[in-house]
Protein backbone atom coordinates (compact mmCIF):
# COMPACT_ATOMS: atom_id res chain seq x y z
CA UNK A 1 0.00 0.00 0.00
CA UNK A 2 1.13 3.55 -0.70
CA UNK A 3 2.64 5.40 2.29
CA UNK A 4 1.05 8.63 3.45
CA UNK A 5 2.67 12.01 2.87
CA UNK A 6 3.68 12.07 6.57
CA UNK A 7 5.52 8.75 6.14
CA UNK A 8 7.84 9.78 3.29
CA UNK A 9 10.68 10.07 5.85
CA UNK A 10 9.31 7.49 8.32
CA UNK A 11 12.27 5.08 8.30
CA UNK A 12 14.85 7.76 9.10
CA UNK A 13 12.50 9.56 11.53
CA UNK A 14 11.93 6.36 13.51
CA UNK A 15 15.64 5.62 13.69
CA UNK A 16 16.48 9.17 14.81
CA UNK A 17 13.51 9.77 17.10
CA UNK A 18 12.19 6.59 18.68
CA UNK A 19 13.45 4.67 21.73
CA UNK A 20 15.60 7.46 23.20
CA UNK A 21 14.33 7.08 26.75
CA UNK A 22 16.25 10.04 28.20
CA UNK A 23 13.66 12.36 26.70
CA UNK A 24 11.53 11.73 29.81
CA UNK A 25 13.20 10.99 33.15
CA UNK A 26 10.92 8.03 33.76
CA UNK A 27 7.97 6.51 31.93
CA UNK A 28 5.78 3.50 32.55
CA UNK A 29 2.99 2.08 30.43
CA UNK A 30 0.77 -0.91 31.10
CA UNK A 31 -1.41 -2.51 28.43
CA UNK A 32 -3.92 -5.31 28.98
CA UNK A 33 -6.67 -6.89 26.90
CA UNK A 34 -9.94 -8.14 28.36
CA UNK A 35 -11.63 -11.34 27.12
CA UNK A 36 -14.21 -9.29 25.18
CA UNK A 37 -11.43 -7.55 23.22
CA UNK A 38 -11.36 -4.24 25.08
CA UNK A 39 -7.79 -2.97 25.43
CA UNK A 40 -6.82 -0.86 28.45
CA UNK A 41 -3.68 1.29 28.41
CA UNK A 42 -2.29 3.22 31.38
CA UNK A 43 0.63 5.60 30.79
CA UNK A 44 2.69 7.84 33.01
CA UNK A 45 5.85 9.87 32.49
CA UNK A 46 7.71 12.70 34.12
CA UNK A 47 8.37 15.98 32.33
CA UNK A 48 11.32 18.37 32.44
CA UNK A 49 9.56 20.50 35.09
CA UNK A 50 9.21 17.38 37.32
CA UNK A 51 5.46 17.20 36.71
CA UNK A 52 3.82 13.88 35.88
CA UNK A 53 1.63 13.27 32.84
CA UNK A 54 -0.67 10.27 33.22
CA UNK A 55 -3.53 8.87 31.20
CA UNK A 56 -5.98 5.96 31.09
CA UNK A 57 -7.37 4.72 27.77
CA UNK A 58 -9.88 2.05 26.77
CA UNK A 59 -10.18 0.84 23.17
CA UNK A 60 -12.79 -1.44 21.65
CA UNK A 61 -12.58 -2.86 18.13
CA UNK A 62 -15.51 -4.52 16.37
CA UNK A 63 -13.90 -6.30 13.41
CA UNK A 64 -17.24 -7.30 11.93
CA UNK A 65 -18.38 -3.70 11.39
CA UNK A 66 -14.96 -2.00 11.24
CA UNK A 67 -15.89 0.20 14.21
CA UNK A 68 -13.25 1.30 16.72
CA UNK A 69 -14.13 3.27 19.85
CA UNK A 70 -11.43 4.82 22.04
CA UNK A 71 -12.07 6.64 25.33
CA UNK A 72 -9.33 8.41 27.29
CA UNK A 73 -8.88 10.50 30.42
CA UNK A 74 -5.67 12.14 31.63
CA UNK A 75 -4.59 13.93 34.80
CA UNK A 76 -5.04 17.31 33.10
CA UNK A 77 -8.77 16.40 33.23
CA UNK A 78 -8.92 16.10 29.45
CA UNK A 79 -11.61 13.69 28.28
CA UNK A 80 -11.13 12.31 24.77
CA UNK A 81 -13.27 10.19 22.47
CA UNK A 82 -12.35 8.81 19.08
CA UNK A 83 -14.77 6.95 16.80
CA UNK A 84 -13.29 5.25 13.73
CA UNK A 85 -15.12 3.43 10.95
CA UNK A 86 -13.10 1.55 8.33
CA UNK A 87 -14.26 0.56 4.83
CA UNK A 88 -16.56 3.59 4.83
CA UNK A 89 -18.64 3.68 1.62
CA UNK A 90 -15.77 2.23 -0.44
CA UNK A 91 -12.79 -0.09 0.17
CA UNK A 92 -9.77 1.75 1.56
CA UNK A 93 -11.74 4.70 3.00
CA UNK A 94 -11.80 5.28 6.77
CA UNK A 95 -13.65 7.99 8.67
CA UNK A 96 -12.76 9.29 12.12
CA UNK A 97 -14.34 11.68 14.63
CA UNK A 98 -11.84 12.81 17.28
CA UNK A 99 -13.08 14.95 20.17
CA UNK A 100 -11.66 16.17 23.47
CA UNK A 101 -12.79 18.51 26.22
CA UNK A 102 -11.75 19.87 29.58
CA UNK A 103 -14.83 20.52 31.76
CA UNK A 104 -15.34 24.29 31.90
CA UNK A 105 -12.32 24.61 29.59
CA UNK A 106 -11.13 23.97 26.05
CA UNK A 107 -12.96 21.81 23.54
CA UNK A 108 -11.74 20.25 20.32
CA UNK A 109 -13.47 18.34 17.55
CA UNK A 110 -11.93 17.00 14.35
CA UNK A 111 -13.41 15.09 11.47
CA UNK A 112 -10.83 13.11 9.52
CA UNK A 113 -10.89 10.89 6.43
CA UNK A 114 -8.19 8.49 5.20
CA UNK A 115 -8.08 6.82 1.78
CA UNK A 116 -5.37 4.29 0.91
CA UNK A 117 -4.77 2.14 -2.14
CA UNK A 118 -1.70 0.54 -3.71
CA UNK A 119 -0.65 3.72 -5.52
CA UNK A 120 -2.51 6.53 -3.74
CA UNK A 121 -2.76 7.69 -0.14
CA UNK A 122 -4.95 10.70 0.67
CA UNK A 123 -5.85 12.24 4.04
CA UNK A 124 -8.25 15.03 5.00
CA UNK A 125 -8.37 16.69 8.45
CA UNK A 126 -11.15 19.13 9.31
CA UNK A 127 -10.93 21.06 12.59
CA UNK A 128 -14.56 21.85 13.38
CA UNK A 129 -13.96 24.38 16.17
CA UNK A 130 -10.75 26.19 15.24
CA UNK A 131 -11.05 28.38 12.19
CA UNK A 132 -12.58 26.10 10.97
CA UNK A 133 -9.41 24.82 9.33
CA UNK A 134 -9.05 22.12 6.69
CA UNK A 135 -5.79 20.29 6.02
CA UNK A 136 -5.30 17.76 3.23
CA UNK A 137 -2.36 15.79 1.93
CA UNK A 138 -1.85 13.43 -0.97
CA UNK A 139 0.90 10.94 -1.79
CA UNK A 140 1.32 8.98 -5.04
CA UNK A 141 3.54 5.89 -5.18
CA UNK A 142 5.07 4.12 -8.20
CA UNK A 143 7.94 1.62 -8.30
CA UNK A 144 9.27 2.75 -4.92
CA UNK A 145 9.04 6.47 -5.68
CA UNK A 146 6.63 8.54 -3.57
CA UNK A 147 5.68 12.14 -4.30
CA UNK A 148 3.40 14.08 -1.98
CA UNK A 149 2.12 17.47 -0.95
CA UNK A 150 0.17 19.05 1.92
CA UNK A 151 -2.15 22.06 1.96
CA UNK A 152 -3.85 23.86 4.83
CA UNK A 153 -6.80 26.21 4.36
CA UNK A 154 -8.42 28.59 6.88
CA UNK A 155 -12.08 28.64 5.86
CA UNK A 156 -13.08 31.68 7.93
CA UNK A 157 -10.42 33.92 6.35
CA UNK A 158 -10.45 32.09 2.99
CA UNK A 159 -6.65 31.83 3.02
CA UNK A 160 -4.10 29.09 2.54
CA UNK A 161 -2.25 28.91 5.88
CA UNK A 162 0.39 26.30 5.07
CA UNK A 163 1.78 24.15 2.30
CA UNK A 164 4.60 21.65 1.86
CA UNK A 165 5.87 18.99 -0.53
CA UNK A 166 8.12 15.95 -0.50
CA UNK A 167 9.73 13.30 -2.69
CA UNK A 168 11.18 9.97 -1.64
CA UNK A 169 12.40 6.60 -2.83
CA UNK A 170 12.29 3.40 -0.75
CA UNK A 171 13.69 -0.07 -1.41
CA UNK A 172 13.82 -3.06 0.98
CA UNK A 173 17.28 -2.02 2.26
CA UNK A 174 17.46 1.76 1.95
CA UNK A 175 15.41 4.92 1.46
CA UNK A 176 16.16 8.54 0.59
CA UNK A 177 13.87 11.57 0.71
CA UNK A 178 13.67 15.35 0.44
CA UNK A 179 10.89 17.53 1.90
CA UNK A 180 10.07 21.21 1.99
CA UNK A 181 7.87 22.24 4.93
CA UNK A 182 6.72 25.46 6.67
CA UNK A 183 5.54 26.94 3.37
CA UNK A 184 8.64 25.59 1.62
CA UNK A 185 10.98 27.50 3.94
CA UNK A 186 12.47 24.49 5.79
CA UNK A 187 14.17 21.83 3.66
CA UNK A 188 15.11 18.40 4.92
CA UNK A 189 17.05 15.57 3.27
CA UNK A 190 17.19 12.16 4.93
CA UNK A 191 18.44 8.67 4.27
CA UNK A 192 18.02 5.27 5.92
CA UNK A 193 20.10 2.14 5.27
CA UNK A 194 19.55 -1.37 6.61
CA UNK A 195 23.19 -2.36 6.40
CA UNK A 196 22.56 -5.94 7.61
CA UNK A 197 19.93 -7.83 9.60
CA UNK A 198 21.65 -6.45 12.72
CA UNK A 199 22.75 -2.92 11.77
CA UNK A 200 20.75 0.14 10.67
CA UNK A 201 22.03 3.65 9.94
CA UNK A 202 20.42 6.93 9.00
CA UNK A 203 20.95 10.68 8.89
CA UNK A 204 19.02 13.88 8.39
CA UNK A 205 20.12 17.32 7.17
CA UNK A 206 17.83 20.33 7.69
CA UNK A 207 18.05 23.93 6.52
CA UNK A 208 15.74 26.75 7.62
CA UNK A 209 16.00 29.35 4.86
CA UNK A 210 14.35 32.00 7.06
CA UNK A 211 16.13 31.59 10.40
CA UNK A 212 19.60 30.30 9.53
CA UNK A 213 22.25 30.15 6.83
CA UNK A 214 23.69 26.93 8.24
CA UNK A 215 22.37 23.38 8.19
CA UNK A 216 21.60 21.03 11.08
CA UNK A 217 22.92 17.48 10.79
CA UNK A 218 22.16 14.43 12.92
CA UNK A 219 23.14 10.79 12.53
CA UNK A 220 21.87 7.64 14.23
CA UNK A 221 22.60 3.94 14.20
CA UNK A 222 20.99 0.84 15.67
CA UNK A 223 22.54 -2.53 16.48
CA UNK A 224 20.37 -5.56 17.24
CA UNK A 225 22.04 -7.68 19.93
CA UNK A 226 19.51 -10.52 19.70
CA UNK A 227 15.77 -11.03 19.27
CA UNK A 228 15.05 -9.33 22.58
CA UNK A 229 17.57 -6.46 22.80
CA UNK A 230 19.08 -3.61 20.82
CA UNK A 231 21.20 -0.51 21.32
CA UNK A 232 20.90 2.85 19.54
CA UNK A 233 23.08 5.93 19.36
CA UNK A 234 22.70 9.33 17.74
CA UNK A 235 24.65 12.56 17.58
CA UNK A 236 23.94 16.01 16.14
CA UNK A 237 26.29 18.71 14.95
CA UNK A 238 25.08 20.83 17.90
CA UNK A 239 26.96 18.45 20.22
CA UNK A 240 23.84 16.74 21.55
CA UNK A 241 24.24 12.98 21.71
CA UNK A 242 22.16 10.10 23.04
CA UNK A 243 22.43 6.40 23.78
CA UNK A 244 19.57 3.96 24.25
CA UNK A 245 19.26 0.31 25.29
CA UNK A 246 16.10 -1.79 25.06
CA UNK A 247 15.65 -5.25 26.55
CA UNK A 248 12.64 -7.54 26.63
CA UNK A 249 12.94 -9.02 30.12
CA UNK A 250 10.15 -11.56 29.67
CA UNK A 251 7.33 -11.82 27.11
CA UNK A 252 5.26 -8.68 27.58
CA UNK A 253 7.77 -6.82 29.78
CA UNK A 254 10.23 -4.41 28.17
CA UNK A 255 12.85 -2.20 29.80
CA UNK A 256 14.40 0.84 28.15
CA UNK A 257 17.38 2.85 29.38
CA UNK A 258 18.65 6.07 27.87
CA UNK A 259 21.13 8.87 28.40
CA UNK A 260 21.45 12.21 26.65
CA UNK A 261 24.38 14.55 26.98
CA UNK A 262 25.95 17.61 25.41
CA UNK A 263 29.41 16.75 24.11
CA UNK A 264 30.34 20.46 24.13
CA UNK A 265 29.40 20.90 27.81
CA UNK A 266 30.57 17.69 29.46
CA UNK A 267 31.49 19.46 32.72
CA UNK A 268 28.09 21.16 33.08
CA UNK A 269 24.91 19.66 34.63
CA UNK A 270 22.93 19.60 31.39
CA UNK A 271 22.80 15.85 30.80
CA UNK A 272 19.75 13.58 31.03
CA UNK A 273 19.15 10.04 32.23
CA UNK A 274 15.89 8.18 31.91
CA UNK A 275 14.18 4.81 31.77
CA UNK A 276 11.01 3.23 30.47
CA UNK A 277 9.02 0.19 31.54
CA UNK A 278 6.31 -1.37 29.38
CA UNK A 279 3.94 -4.14 30.40
CA UNK A 280 1.53 -5.93 28.06
CA UNK A 281 -0.84 -8.74 28.93
Taking residues 246-255, what's their average pLDDT? Answer: 96
pLDDT 10s digits, 68-111: 999 999 999 999 999 999 988 889 999 999 999 999 899 999 99
Q: For domain 5-280, give the CATH number.
A: 2.40.160.10
Q: Which of 105-109, 135-139, 212-216, 250-254 has the lowest mean pLDDT?
A: 212-216
**pLDDT band with cut points at 50, 70 and 90 for residue 233:** very high
Judge contact between 41 and 29, C-beta under 8 A.
yes
Instruction: State residue 51's pLDDT score.
Output: 86
Instruction: Check: CB of residue 188 under 8 Å from CB of residue 203.
Output: no
pLDDT, one tens digit per residue, over 161-179 is: 999 999 999 999 999 999 9
- Every domain of the chain and the residues it spans: 5-280
**Separate counts of helices (H) and strands (E) for the chain:** 1, 19
Q: How many CA atoms lie within 13 A of 183 on its CB side?
A: 5
Is 55 within 8 Å of 42 (Cβ atoms)?
yes
Q: What pLDDT score does 72 carry?
A: 98
Q: Give the pTM.
A: 0.90
- Summarised one tens digit per residue, pLDDT across range 33-68 is 998 889 999 999 987 777 899 999 999 999 889 999
Amino acid sequence: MAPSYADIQKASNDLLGKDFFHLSTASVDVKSTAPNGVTFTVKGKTAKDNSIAASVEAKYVDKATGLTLTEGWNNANNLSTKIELSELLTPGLKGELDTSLVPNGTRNAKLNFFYQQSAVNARFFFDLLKGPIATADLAVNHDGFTAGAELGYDISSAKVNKYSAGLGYASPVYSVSVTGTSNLSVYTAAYYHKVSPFVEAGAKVAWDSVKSNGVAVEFATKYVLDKSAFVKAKIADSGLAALAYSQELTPGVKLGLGVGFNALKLAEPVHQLGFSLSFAA
